[in-house]
Structure 1
């Protein structure tokens, strides 16, 4: 796959995943190893190969892991229908409610 093809796919996948209500953000993995490396930059949290798209995210509590992964898979398949989609939920973001 060319750098331009990977760039277009990685950017489109990242935007689609960020738009998921159950996703707080993308996650680069424990050591930042989950990324699509492009000339001069990287798309963290999205790894694109010819066979697979791997996405690592921070979910938004109270969504379940199943709900988060389902939303991400649906969003990614709308962008790239011809590849296996792998979703890893690395963490959950919890918003604390403040009481007076």
Structure 2
């Protein structure tokens, strides 16, 4: 039988291999982890026959498809029923030279602090 640390490591590897997963998340208060000798395996909480994996996903991908992919991969890796919790989403920066959504929205704030309505002031 595998230790919880070995199972948690396998869950991390399986979850992070799914396209769209940008990382694991320890929860709002840092409470989601599996404890092993000298370390915390963040984002994975295991029970005897089940577990949870808390992920961060790229918003440019379908979040539900990503979560389902993580569930399937982590259940295969762990041999347990897994619940997937999407804790956060990330948005990739657009490539240089591409327009962003806020540029043509009146009143929208851009990173410089000027709104589209401010013009060239």
Please say whether Structure 1 and Structure 2 have the same fold, judged by a TM-score greater than 0.5.
yes
Instruction: Give the equivalent residue in structure 1 for 2:20.
Output: 22
Higher relative contact order (CA 8 A, sep 6+): 1
Task: Find 1:86's aligned residue among 74, 83, 86.
Answer: 83
TM-score, reference length from structure 1: 0.88
Tell me which residue corresponds to 2:62.
Answer: 64
Runs of 4+ in structure 1 over 3 Å off: none
Shift of 1:89: 0.4
Structure 1 unaligned runs (5+)? none
Alpha-carbon distance in 2 for matches of 1:47, 1:66 = 21
* Structure 2: distance between partners of 1:36 and 1:87: 15
How many residues were matched structurally? 97
Q: Secondary structure at the match of 2:19?
A: coil
Larger Rg: 2
Structure 2: gaps (5+ residues): 99-121
Instruction: Give the whole-Å Cα distance in 2 for the aligned partners of 1:65 and 1:84.
Output: 20
TM-score of the aligned structures, taking structure 2 as reference length: 0.74
**Partner residue of 1:96 out of 93, 97, 107:** 93
| CA RMSD between the two structures | 1.6
